[in-house]
Amino acid sequence: MDLRWFLLALFLLGCCFSPGLSFNGEMAEQECPDECDCHYFRINWVTDCSDSNLTEIPYDELSMNVYVLDLNDNLISEIEPFPPDIKMRRLQMADNRMTELKKESFTGLHYLIDADFSGNAITKVDPHVFDDSAGFITLELQNNPLDPVEGPFLSISTLHYLDISNCSIETLNDHFFDNISALETLDLSENPLKVINTRSFEPLTSLETLKMNHCNLTTISEDAFLAQHNLKTLELSGNYFVRETNWEIVFSKLTLLENLDLRNSHFNHLTATLFDQNHYLRTLILAENDLSEYDVGDTVKNLANLETLDLSYCNLTVPLSEDTFANATKIRSLYLSGNTLFASDLLVALSPLTNLQKLSLSKCGLRRLPDTFHKFKSLQELDISHNPLNDAFVKLLAPLATLEYLNMGYSNLSYLAPTSFSKMTSIRRLVLSGNDLNNLEAGLFGNLTHLESLELNFCGLRRPLNATLFFNNFTYTDLTELQLAGNPLRVSKTGPLLPKQLSRLQTLDLSNCNLTFLPPDAFFWTRNITTLVLAGNHFNSPNDFHFLELLPKLEVLDLTYNNLTSFAPKEIEFNPQISRLKLIGNPWKCQCSVADLWDWAHMEKGDLSILEGSTIRASDVTVGKLKRKRLLVCNYDGRVSLPIIMNKTAPGRKPFKQQQRTISASNRTWAKYVRESGCEPSPVFLHARATRSVGYISAEGVHMKLAQHAPNTWASAIINASAIYAVLITVIGVLFVVTKNRINARHADKNN
């Protein structure tokens, strides 16, 4: 059976029959080491011990059912064998002090699928390190100083994804990839490889994505990609190619290639026949190469299937001729930013591209605009930002009745005629940021009746928008987003901030607006706001947050990077829909108000992840490049002498196993502070916990202590339902596998 489908089935089984779900349908509380923060993510037990100065893995207190074990950002240098029955699927050990991956450390991990050891000091990896993990798929080893490898690097027949970028690899021996031939994605970026020899990639016949960005490559052997029949994406940006490489032959092997990225790689070899064998080429990125000697038209005009072409910052000097895009008329997206272009050349060169949908001409030194916009019948996105435009030429844009996105940011504009946008009635997103537009003319936005988003960041505005900019007595029903960040607003003590026409506004960005307060009736006309961004202002504690009372639909409140030392749940008592409270970057004091907010999220809202930075989110769990996360921290003020010994167990909070704790740091994460502090939970929240436990089950990142304290039939019913659902999904998965195999078999018959 095809391995991939087997793995899918395995994964489905794994995800749905999570050991967290015991037979009677109760979600069992699992073990959790003292230093860690544990919770269910969906129905999987996540043990988050990241960023805790651990020097060894807390083996004794681990649940055998741990699904994700997150040990990122610790000081661990050795891994002892894990307990034999552990069912761990994913092990995250980024940014530790490992120096070697030894086979004995990972024996018995039969369920392991993914592992991340990026950012350690690993020099040696035993090729058989994951021999016990029959379904192992993803390995991340980026940012380690690997020693030179002789022979095969790894022996993992199921491996699909390998990231060994920035691992000091200088040469790839001919057998390096011998025993990982199922690999589909390989990232070799940021290794000083210099040259790619003929044989290195020979075993990798399944490869679909190969990344070799920033590898100091100077040459690639003609036959380097002889075996890569399936390669669809090749990234070679940030290299130093000299003229020796015979690109015509290199590319001729890659007949299925769809995406090619040669950004900033000293690529300097354009011929008319370069891509003759690459009939499926859809995306070509040549940005940031000096193509001043070439008439790009010679190459481009043969790329009849090209959809996206990026020629930004290419020093295009040969004037774009009328032939340039004559035969590449499928181009939908064209990026020409950062070349010095002339309106007159653009006028002729762009004329065949009548189907163009996206055009970027930012930073092209344009003082005037080509009078060609009336030819684009379906242009949807136009970026002419960062050009020293003369106010007078803006009127050439007027015919763009199909335009949906227009970026004229940072274009030296100081005056916009009231009729500038009068015909652009399709515009949905308009960006005018970075122009000194303190005096906006009455009626300017009147005809933009389909506008959804208006960006006026850094426009030197001293007053929020005036009602006269819009039609009188008209509600802009689509206008849901307004950005006014970075304007030094002067707000009066009373009165609405925004006019009645914007009553459908949902997202308002007032970050970095030099605000110290907002009047209580600030949102009198705009009560539908769901997202309010007040980051980077000067809100102090205590503050008058009465303006929040007019926002019953508020879901997201961003108060990051202000000057708050405390924030009480009662400030948001009129905002029952709140689901994200962003508070990172304030000088929080370690005091019981922190515990109050924690209990509010945890017990009343039933979802701790409402407090952004309190716990890991889905995106932190996904395999990717950067896993660092920002946490909510508070600091003890100078009056408290450290260390403090805590010995208290508060109801509703996870108790410590060891009763005595010594605090030795002046900054604590909120999670740890709340556990250590011994602050009494407010009776209000304890009551909420007893009466509202159903909500906890459906929320992500649930703290299961609660379910245990308040077992009830509703919760069990929901969990039973999800178990049935899980069985269904698995059955469907298996059927899918069977069908797929039939189809494959039929295919094989046909081919024979």
Residue 734 backbone phi and psi in degrees, to 5: -65, -45
CB neighbour list of residue 257: distance below 8 Å, 6 or more residues apart: 231, 232, 233, 234, 251, 278, 280, 281
For residues 420 and 396, the answer to whether their CB atoms sit within 8 Å is no
Which of these, 359, 547, 533, lies nearest to 455 by C-alpha position? 533
Dihedral angle, C-alpha 374, 375, 378, 382, nearest 10 °: -60
Q: Which of 305, 422, 579, 682 binds ligand NAG (CB under 6 A)?
A: 422
CB atoms within 10 A of CB 258: 17
In 363-413, beta strands by DSSP E: 381-383, 405-407
Q: Which of 372, 419, 453, 730 binds ligand NAG (CB under 6 A)?
A: 419
DSSP secondary structure letter of residue 641: P
Give me the least distance between CB of 736 and ligand NAG, in Å please: 40
Q: Which of 22, 271, 414, 472 binds ligand NAG (CB under 6 A)?
A: 472
Return the number of the residue (197 or 425) whose C-beta is nearest ligand NAG: 425
| C-alpha to C-alpha distance for 289 and 297, rounded to whole angstroms | 16
Contact window for ligand NAG (CB under 6 A) among 51-59, 82-90, 346-354, 723-731:
51-59
User: What's at 487, amino acid-wise?
Assistant: N
Give me the least distance between CB of 582 and ligand NAG, in Å please: 15
**String of contacts with ligand NAG for each residue 220-259, x by CB under 6 A:** --------------------x-------------------
| C-alpha to C-alpha distance for 395 and 175, rounded to whole angstroms | 63
Q: Are strands 580-582 and 308-310 parallel, antiparallel or unpaired?
A: unpaired
Q: Which of 466, 492, 494, 662 binds ligand NAG (CB under 6 A)?
A: 466
| Residue 430: both structure tokens together | 């308009």
Q: Which of 233, 305, 666, 682 binds ligand NAG (CB under 6 A)?
A: 666
Give me the least distance between CB of 542 and ligand NAG, in Å please: 8
**String of contacts with ligand NAG for each residue 262-301, x by CB under 6 A:** --------------------------x-x-x--------x
SS3 416: coil
Residue 351 touching ligand NAG (CB under 6 A)? no
Give CA separation, 49 vs 54, 59, 106, 633, in Å: 8, 12, 19, 16
Give me the least distance between CB of 500 and ligand NAG, in Å please: 8
Give me the least distance between CB of 397 and ligand NAG, in Å please: 14
Residue 667 touching ligand NAG (CB under 6 A)? yes
Q: Which of 514, 579, 716, 741 binds ligand NAG (CB under 6 A)?
A: 514
Residue 218 touching ligand NAG (CB under 6 A)? no
Q: Which of 647, 662, 698, 739 binds ligand NAG (CB under 6 A)?
A: 647
Q: Are strands 358-360 and 161-163 parallel, antiparallel or unpaired?
A: unpaired
Give me the least distance between CB of 292 and ligand NAG, in Å please: 6
Q: Which of 233, 308, 412, 635 binds ligand NAG (CB under 6 A)?
A: 635
For residues 609 and 617, the answer to whether their CB atoms sit within 8 Å is yes
Give me the least distance between CB of 84 and ligand NAG, in Å please: 31
Q: Which of 77, 185, 390, 565 binds ligand NAG (CB under 6 A)?
A: 565
In 399-530, beta strands by DSSP E: 405-407, 429-431, 453-455, 481-483, 507-509
Residue 53 touching ligand NAG (CB under 6 A)? yes
Residue 216 touching ligand NAG (CB under 6 A)? yes
Q: Which of 279, 527, 687, 746 binds ligand NAG (CB under 6 A)?
A: 527
Q: Which of 468, 591, 730, 741 binds ligand NAG (CB under 6 A)?
A: 468
Q: Which of 25, 108, 399, 443 binds ligand NAG (CB under 6 A)?
A: 443
Give me the least distance between CB of 612 and ligand NAG, in Å please: 15
Which of these, 88, 222, 200, lies nearest to 152 by C-alpha position? 200
Q: Which of 157, 540, 712, 739 binds ligand NAG (CB under 6 A)?
A: 540
CB neighbour list of residue 547: distance below 8 Å, 6 or more residues apart: 518, 519, 520, 521, 522, 523
In 608-707, beta strands by DSSP E: 611-612, 633-635, 645-646, 661-662, 667-669
Residue 452 touching ligand NAG (CB under 6 A)? no
Contact window for ligand NAG (CB under 6 A) among 102-110, 381-389, 443-451, 730-738:
443-451
Total binding residues for ligand NAG by CB under 6 A? 48
Bridge partner residues of 154 (DSSP): none
Give me the least distance between CB of 425 and ligand NAG, in Å please: 6
Return the number of the residue (605 or 653) whose C-beta is nearest ligand NAG: 653
| C-alpha to C-alpha distance for 11 and 48, rounded to whole angstroms | 22
Residue 662 touching ligand NAG (CB under 6 A)? no
- Buried b vs exposed e over 588-625: b needs ≥16 C-beta within 10 Å? bbbbbbbbbbbbbbbbbbbbbbbbbbbbbeeebbebee
For residues 527 and 493, the answer to whether their CB atoms sit within 8 Å is no
Write the DSSP string, 241-257.
--TTS-HHHHHHT-TT-
Q: Which of 138, 315, 372, 507 binds ligand NAG (CB under 6 A)?
A: 315
For residues 275 and 302, the answer to whether their CB atoms sit within 8 Å is yes
Q: Which of 151, 488, 552, 576 binds ligand NAG (CB under 6 A)?
A: 488
DSSP secondary structure letter of residue 688: H
Give me the least distance between CB of 468 and ligand NAG, in Å please: 5
Residue 181 touching ligand NAG (CB under 6 A)? no
Residue 210 backbone phi and psi in degrees, to 5: -130, 125
Residue 504 touching ligand NAG (CB under 6 A)? yes
Enumerate binding residues for ligand NAG (CB under 6 A).
51-53, 192, 216, 240, 288, 290, 292, 301, 313, 315, 323, 326-327, 419, 422-423, 425, 442-443, 446-447, 463, 466, 468, 472-473, 488, 503-504, 514, 516, 527-528, 538, 540-541, 563, 565, 633, 635, 647, 659-660, 665-667
